Structure 1
Amino acid sequence: MSIYNNILVVADINNDEQPALARAMQLGRKSKSPCSVTFFLSIYDFSYEMTSMLSSEERDAMRAGVVHQRTQWMKEVAEPYLDNDITLDIKVIWHNRPYEAIIEQVYAAGHEIVIKATRQHAALESVLFTPTDWHLLRKCPTPVLLVKNHDWPENGHIVASVHVGSEQESHQKLNQAMVEQALDLSERLNATPHLVNAYPLTPPNITVELPEFDPTLYSDSVRGHHLKAMKELRQHYGLPEEQTSVEQGLAEDVISKSVADLKAGLVILGTSGRSGLSAVFIGNTAENVIDKVDCDLLALKPEGYISPLDPNSV
C-alpha cells in the first residue's frame, strides 16, 4: 500500500491558486511519516532558441533569467500553502515537453505520486493535441492524482471503480490496489469507501445473429457473476454490502452517477497506459471519466507497468 510521503506537484502556470499543492499538503498533514513535496514546473519558449543574433552563452543566460523569475513566482504562490511539518522544495527546469519533464523528475527523485490540477478538455483538443493529463495517465509510472479546485470534505466519500468481472490476474491485482488505496485514504480523511463495478449491456445485434439467444437470461447470468465476484472482494476487505454497487452500463456512466449520488470527493480508477493510435482515438475509462465527474481522480497503473520513458528500459 502506497503512503505517498514523497510527492511531486505540478504547478499551474496560469493561476496563482494551486489546488494541486493544497491537495498535496492535505495528504502530507494526514501522513504518519515525514513528508516532502516538490513543487515542479517545466517551462519553454521556442523564441529563445531561435534568437540567432545571440551567442549560446547569452541564450543560456536568458533561459536562466526566465527560470529565476518563475522560481520567484512559485515561492510567492506557494506561501499560503506552507506547512512547518512538511518539507517543500521548488524546482523549475527548461524543457520543451512538460509530461516528459514530469516523468523524468519522477524517476530522478523517486516520487511516489504525481498531483496535478486539471480542467475541462474540449473534445477536439483531447483528440488532436493530447494534453499533458492524457500523457501522464498513459505513461507516468506512479499513481497520478488529477485535482479540481475544491476541498476534500471530512467524513466524505471515496469511490473505487473495480473490475470484478475479469479473471485476469492483472485486473484482480489492480482491483486489490484500488481497494487498498480507497481504504488507506478513507482512514486518513475520515471518509467512507465505496466499491463500484459496471458490467456490460447485452450486445444489441446478438439477437439478430442468434435468434435462439435469450438476452434476459444472458443479462441475469452476467449480473450474477459480477455480484458474486463483488461479494468475494468486499468480504476479503471486510466491507459491508451497502458500500458496494454493481450496475449495468458503460463504466464512465456508472462511475459518474455513483460519484454524483454520493457527492464523492475522489474517484479511484485503473488505467492501462496504452499508446499508439488506440490511445489517441479511443481513450480509456479513466480519460472518459475526467470530464464527467466533479471530483478528483486518482489513476493507478497495473502491477509491473513499465513506462516508455523509463530510463532503465532503453
Structure 2
Amino acid sequence: MPGPGPHPLDSHEERCRLRLTLSDGRVIEGLHNAVAGRHFLHRTGPGLPLVGEVEGPLQASDIRAIEVVMTRAALLEQGRELLQGPRVPGREPVTRDDFEHRLQTLARAVAAVPEADWQMQVRLKRQFEACAERIALGQGKQAWMLAEARWARKSNASPTMADLWIEPVASPSCFARPRPQDFDPDPAIRRRRVPPPPEVRADPFSVPNMLAALLGRDLKARITRSGDPPHAAAHIQVDMPVKGRARFVLIGERCRGTTRWRAVWDGNDSKPGLRRRLSEATEAYRRMLAAMREGRRSVQPDLFG
C-alpha cells in the first residue's frame, strides 16, 4: 500500500513522459501512469519488448530525481501532428460561418497538394475530417466539399452535381451539397428540416409529393438518389410484393415547371422477365402507375394556409 506521506509523483499528470533517476543509480524514462494511488512508468524503446515494459509500483524512497521530458499536452500535439501534419493556419472555428470557412480552407489545402505527395494529402484530409466531425458533417457532404475544392482549381463557375459526380443524381449518403445550417455548431439547428419551395409543394408530381403519393397507396417506396437541390431530380425505388429482387425505379426530373416521371425495371432478370411479369400483375404495380398518373391528391403550397 502507498505510504502515508505524499508521493513525489503525485504532482505530475498522468500520461506525461518522465525521466526518473532511481536510488539504485538507474535512469529510466517512460509514460507516467497512476493506478489506485500507485505510480508506474511504461517504458518503450530498444532492448524492450514490443509492447514495452512497466516499471513499478514506484515507491517514494525509490526516486531520487524527476525530470519532465514532455507534458501530456505536448505528447497529444505530437501525435496529432504525426497523423494530421502541420496545422493549416487559421483560427479555431466557433460559429457557423467559422466552420464553413475553416472546412473550405482545409478542402482547398487538400486539393492543392500534388497527387505524388499522397502522404501529405492524407494528413491534411485528416485535419478536414477532424473539423467536420466536430459538427457531425456527413460523409456525403464532406465528399462534396472536397470535390468542390478540386473543381475550383480549374473553374470559377459554381459547380453542379453533374460537374462533381458521375451523374446528376447521387445517394445522399455518398454525395450531397451541404446546407448552410449543416455548419452550425448547435445540433438542434442542424437537424431542422427546410421545407421545399412553394412551387415544389404545389406540384402534385414533385419529388416529395410523389413519395407521399406512393406511401399513401401502401407501397414500399424510398428515395435512393437525389439531385441538387433534392427536389430537382430523384430516383424512387418501389419494391413489388414478389419473391426475390423485384422492384421498379421511378426517375423524376424537372421539366417546364413540373416533374416528369418514368418507371424503369430494376429487378433480377435471371429468369427471363418472370419477376417483372409477376410484378406487373400485382395490385401494387397498378397503385404505382396510379400514383405516377395522378400524383399526390392533396398538396399544401402554403405551410401556414
TM-score range normalised by the length of the shorter chain: under 0.3
Larger radius of gyration: 2
Which structure is higher in helix share? Answer: 1
Q: State TM-score, norm by structure 2.
A: 0.21
TM-score normalized with structure 1 length: 0.20
